[in-house]
Amino acid sequence: FKCTPFRNRDPAARHSCFNDPNAAAYREHLKHLEKRKPAAVILTVDDFHEVAEKQRGMLLTFMLHAKTAAGAPFGLCTVGYGVEILDTTFSDYGVPIAQGCL
């Protein structure tokens, strides 16, 4: 999923991460995790390198621990998952990646 929508965390904004169409993939992943509760999950963030380095920690904290204004779970840890963050690419493990995928 793309992390760009998570830069706007203001629920009163016209497009915040809570309603931005660009965050739809993340919201769908979250719904699936809540419903299916798989034992392990690998999620990739496509554009994390585009976030300014000084903003990355705050962005990660939000993506892991956020709740909506109504208190609903929105971060990965809020739906019961522990998280290990790896700064790597699938190609480091020999997994081919199709260019232009969303």
**Which residues contact residue 15 at a Cβ distance below 8 angstroms, ignoring those fewer than 6 apart?**
5, 8, 21
pTM above 0.85, yes or no: no
Each residue's pLDDT tens digit, 42-91:
878 878 888 888 888 888 888 889 888 888 888 888 888 888 888 887 77
CB 47 within 8 A of CB 4: yes
